[in-house]
Amino acid sequence: MLLTKTQIEQHNDALLTQHQRNFEFISGNIPGIEGVIKKLTDFQVAIPSWALGNGGTRFGRFAGRGAPSTLEQKLEDVGLLHQFNRSSGAISLHIPWDIPKDATALKQLATQLDLKFDAMNSNTFQDQPGQAHSYKYGSLQHTDKAVRKQAIEHNIEVIKYGQELGSAALTIWLADGSCFPGQLSFRKAFNNTLESLGEIYNALPEQWKVFVEYKAFEPNFYSTTVGDWGQSFLFASKLGEKAYTLVDLGHHLTNANIEQIVALLLNEKKLGGFHFNDSKYGDDDLTVGSIKPYQLFLIFKELVDGMDARGMNHATGLGWMIDASHIVKDPLEDLLQSVEAIKIAYAQALLVDAAQLETAQENNDVTLAQELLQGAYRTDVRPILAEARLRAGAALDPIALFRQLKVRDQLVNERGENAVATGL
């Protein structure tokens, strides 16, 4: 299903007076408000195909209602989200969960929905039916060359699918590692992985990037071969200038200073992209901003600062993606919340007075530095986001409209109560 222009306009008309009051109140205090709105309008966040159905945990899987069961339906869901917020103009696919049967038709559908294909994701963490070799003991790190070769070829195939769709990046996340001390040689695992990544790197088309995603733990619990930003940075540096580190917010040890990691990777020109989510304990993949919104703001403050220092375009300089999957909320409502949280943090970061902060830092005025950061963080920027949406033809209150229109019931009518999505 798609929304009609009238449905959005009627919703916006009903909320307009209240919105205008809120927007006037905040915009009067913000110099350069038009610049902020422009940046917010340009900033698009890619939606992962695997977040559209209701997932589960390793203890159980719970069916959602009216989940998209084909790749076309996944695109339609993202197209629908994009209509609600005009901020989700891209989809990130995972192979083999999302193998396109007819790339030309899929591209056409994406164009109709005003969507782009963001980074492609490979999967060498699950065995597929009929696969010759098992990834039980790893993929690119494996002791057996035949297994490594199979995993390399899979990644090259993912690039090929991505090329057909007009994507320009490959994200590699490896489950490789070990569960027990002594199980593997750290050195050999690293060197095998580097050699395998090198072969994938050599198959990258001209304008492509490869993102090496790190994760401290899970599914291996003693060591992970790309376990932290240092290891990812090492791989990316050795591979070459098309290779970058990808930061997934849930992939760190508890209380890691992610904003500092981001600042340094940006400084070293090795930060490639983001997987946004939130977590309390581990790779919880919860709604962005639901647990640690101040941390998200601090990360965006470093992103804005670091990108400005290098004259980068905020919208296109890095890959912005959500990586979450849920069992308790409607996935589309959840994604609307995640995109909103990302943009709130971004808008707040744009409000930080960089010149004053620099002076405070130079003077070691610790109190003032904190005041400046928290002043921006405590600003309610939601009317600015709403104004950007209004101007872009999206909904003033996406979740309210989603509920008014009973979108999920309509999807159930189209797809059936127990439709199941491929993916996690």
Residues lying near ligand RM4 in the complex (CB under 6 A) are found at 121, 173, 213, 215, 248, 275, 283, 323, 424
125 vs 356 by CB, closer to ligand RM4? 125
Q: Is 323 in the site for Mn ion (CB under 5 A)?
A: yes
CA 80/CA 72 separation, integer angstroms: 12
User: How many angstroms separate the most distant Cα atoms in the chain?
Assistant: 66
Q: What is the size of the binding site for Mn ion (CB under 5 A)? A: 4
Contact 242, 209 (CB under 8 A): yes
322 vs 419 by CB, closer to Mn ion? 322
Smallest distance, Å, CB 325 to Mn ion?
9
Strands 56-57 and 60-61: antiparallel
Per-residue CA distances from 88 to 42, 48, 113 (Å): 11, 10, 11
> Quick one: what does residue 302 bind among ligand RM4, Mn ion, none, with the CB cut-off 5 to 8 Å set by partner type?
none
Smallest distance, Å, CB 50 to ligand RM4?
6
Question: In one letter, which amino acid is 336?
Answer: L
Per-residue x/- track, 375-394, Mn ion (CB under 5 A) = --------------------
239 vs 246 by CB, closer to ligand RM4? 246
Contact 350, 36 (CB under 8 A): yes
Smallest distance, Å, CB 61 to ligand RM4?
14
**Which of 11, 74, 82, 275 is the binder for Mn ion (CB under 5 A)?**
275
Smallest distance, Å, CB 15 to ligand RM4?
36
Q: Is 283 in the site for Mn ion (CB under 5 A)?
A: yes
Give the count of beta carbons closer than 10 Å to the beta carbon of residue 119.
27
> Residue 286 has what DSSP assignment?
B
28 vs 281 by CB, closer to Mn ion? 281
54 vs 121 by CB, closer to ligand RM4? 121
Smallest distance, Å, CB 321 to ligand RM4?
9
> Quick one: what does residue 121 bind among ligand RM4, Mn ion, none, with the CB cut-off 5 to 8 Å set by partner type?
ligand RM4
Burial of 343 (0-12, 13-18, 19+ CB in 10 A): buried
Contact 348, 377 (CB under 8 A): yes
Smallest distance, Å, CB 173 to Mn ion?
6
Q: What is the 3-state secondary structure (H, E, C) of 348-417?
A: HHHHCCHHHHHHHHHCCCHHHHHHHHHHHHCCCCHHHHHHHHHHHCCCCCHHHHHHHCCHHHHHHHHHCC
Residues that bind Mn ion (CB under 5 A): 248, 275, 283, 323
